[in-house]
Amino acid sequence: MAPVRTVAFSICLAAGAGLLTSCTDPGGAGVVHQSPSVTAASSWAMSMPPKASCSSRIVSLGPLLRRTVITEISDVTRVRRGDKPFVTKLRPVRSVVPAVDGAGVVDATSVYATFAQKVGPGVAEVGEESPREVESGEVSVSGGGAIVVYTSVQLVEASFTERCAGIATSGVVRSWTRSRTGLMQCDLKPQRTDDVVKEAVGLTC
C-alpha cells in the first residue's frame, strides 16, 4: 500500500453566494502541492532504440501543450457543517509516464533532455511514473455538500523533430509535473469550468 499523506483542507461557502472556496491555501483554491515520488526501476533504457551515429544532432521542439489530468479520484462523500475530518479511498484513473514517440530511430535521451530543459524545474525524470495513492489524506471541510477528492498532474507534451546525418525524424515527447491533491463539490451551482473539474464531474458526480 502506498504511504498515506495527510492533507488538510478547509472549504467555506461564501456568504450569500453559494460558492465553494478554499480557506486553507492562499496560493490555489483547494489545492496542495506535492513532491513527485521517484520510481526506482525504468524500462526506458531497454525500450530506447539504438542511437544513430552522427557528429551533430539537432532537436527542435514545438510549443508546449499543458493540461491538468486526474490520476486518482474518490467517490462522493456527503458532509454537513461541523462534521469531523474524513479519509476516503481513491480509485485509479490513469498513470502518466515520460515518453518519446517517434516514427523511426531517435535518440530518446537527447530529445527528452531538450524537452525537460524547456519545461523547466519540477518535470518528471525519465522512468518516473506519476504518483499512486490508495487513500486521501485527512480532509476537513467547513460548510457542507457532496465532496470529491482527487489527485492530478499537469500533462506536458510537445512535437519534436530530430535531425541527424541529414535525416529528420518527427514525433511527440510528453511528461508530467505539478502533482497535486484537490477537492470539489458535486452539488455546487454553478460549477467551475476548468478541465480538471469537468473530468471529475464526469467520473464521479
Question: Can you give the residue ranges of every domain in the chain?
Answer: 11-34+54-203
Q: pLDDT digit string (tens) for 71-86? A: 999 999 999 988 999 9
Q: Are 188 and 12 in contact (CB under 8 A)?
A: no
* Cell numbers that stand for 73 in this block: 479520484
pLDDT at 42: 34
Peptide linkage before 50 cis (omega within 30 of 0): no
pLDDT of residue 168 exceeding 60: yes
Instruction: Evaluate whether 110 touches 56 at the Cβ level (below 8 Å).
Output: no
Interval 135-148: pLDDT, tens: 999 998 888 899 99
pLDDT at 97: 96
What cell does 95 get? 498513470
Residue written as grid cell 512535437: 159
Residue 196 pLDDT: 92
Torsion angle of alpha carbons 152, 175, 157, 168, nearest 10°? -170
Most confident of 7-16, 19-28, 62-71: 62-71
